[in-house]
Amino acid sequence: MQHTTAIAIMAIAASAFGAASPVRAVEITVLSGQAVEPALIAAADIFRARTGISVKIVFATTQQIRQRIGAGETPDVVIAPPEVLDQFAKSGHVSGAERAPLGAVGIGVVIRDGAPKPDVSTTEALKRAVLDADMVIYNRASSGLYVEELLKRLGLAEKIEAKTKRYVGTELIEPLINGKGKEIGFLPLVQILKYRGKGLQLAGPLPADIQHSTIYAAAPAPKSDGGAAFVRFLGSAEGKAIFAGLGIE
């Protein structure tokens, strides 16, 4: 974990919010959920240009984040659902006093470019699309766990078990892009938009009556001044605008 002096951090914090104070380059580490990837990378680039602080990001599922922290990893910033951060605050892994809400990420239905777009505008239409698909793909992150339970609730899980594929994180992107039939996938909307025009297209968000949004927030490690500066930047008006501009509100 990287720490900075009090004098340097004052300059970092000032620069993060628009001042022009020069700072010496340092690096902070961020352990984050994958659903916020495009917005977090954009925010980190601006923060680095503004402050000179390099931001090293590792993306992981919520379960992987728990495992990495439990194994002794000490990132400067953790980005996860609030209930996970609450647990880390109780164990002393993140600050309980500083936190920046980042927004909520919904789930969408994704298909490869060029594939016929299925109707997913209603729950019944989605059920037909899933049954008609040659393959149903989702991940083992927070969104995928919800999709798994949703398919059970809709009475589809057993019917499609033979054609269901589950992947860790974004490993499902490649089989979706390289599919040959009527593959259908489920991903956070932000991640789908990242690959729009790069091999994937959005068939549509989950219908409103079964939509599920995961809320994300950022918290710094208790003694990481650099992490605290980055979290303050993420919680600033500029930081919020970056996330909102990429579909996280």
pLDDT tens digit sequence for 214-247: 999 999 999 999 999 999 999 999 999 999 988 8
pLDDT cut 70: percent of the chain above it: 90
Q: Do domains 6-104+216-245 and 107-205 have the same CATH topology?
A: yes
The CA distance from 143 to 61, in Å, is 10
pLDDT number for residue 67: 96
| Dihedral angle, C-alpha 118, 198, 187, 134, nearest 10 ° | 40
The CA distance from 118 to 111, in Å, is 9
Instruction: Provide the terminal-to-terminal Cα distance of the chain, rounded to the nearest Å.
Output: 29
16 pLDDT above the threshold of 60: no
102, 217 contact by CB (below 8 A): yes
The CA distance from 244 to 89, in Å, is 26
208 pLDDT above the threshold of 70: yes
DSSP 50-69: HH--EEEEEEE-HHHHHHHH
Reported confidence tier of residue 169, pLDDT bands at 50, 70, 90:
low
The CA distance from 92 to 118, in Å, is 47
The DSSP bridge pattern shows strands 183-188 and 214-220 to be unpaired
pLDDT number for residue 242: 95
Residue 217: name the closest of 191, 189, 243, 188 by CA: 243
5 pLDDT above the threshold of 80: no
Please tell me which residue, 84 or 9, carries the higher pLDDT value: 84
How many helices (H) and strands (E) the chain has is answered by 11, 10
List pLDDT tens digits, range 98-133.
999 999 999 999 999 989 999 999 999 999 999 999
Most confident of 20-24, 114-118, 147-151, 187-191: 147-151
6 pLDDT above the threshold of 50: no
Dig out the tokens for 63 from the structure.
Answer: 């379960």
pLDDT number for residue 8: 45
Comparing 32-46, 64-78, 165-179, the range with the smallest average pLDDT is 165-179
- In CATH, the architecture of 6-104+216-245 is 3-Layer(aba) Sandwich (3.40)
3 pLDDT above the threshold of 50: no
The CA distance from 45 to 55, in Å, is 8
The CA distance from 200 to 38, in Å, is 15
> Any idea where the domains of the chain sit in the sequence?
6-104+216-245, 107-205
C-alpha dist (Å) from residue 177 to 115, 203, 228, 240:
10, 14, 38, 31
101, 232 contact by CB (below 8 A): no
9 pLDDT above the threshold of 90: no
Q: Which amino acid, one-letter code, is at 8?
A: A
Reported confidence tier of residue 212, pLDDT bands at 50, 70, 90:
very high
C-alpha dist (Å) from residue 6 to 56, 224, 225:
22, 11, 8
Find the mean pLDDT for residues 183-191. Answer: 92
C-alpha dist (Å) from residue 185 to 43, 110, 227:
27, 5, 35
Find the mean pLDDT for residues 199-220. Answer: 95
CATH C-level class of 107-205: alpha beta
158 pLDDT above the threshold of 60: yes
33, 216 contact by CB (below 8 A): yes
Q: Is 169 left (phi over 0), alpha (psi -120 to 50) or beta?
A: left
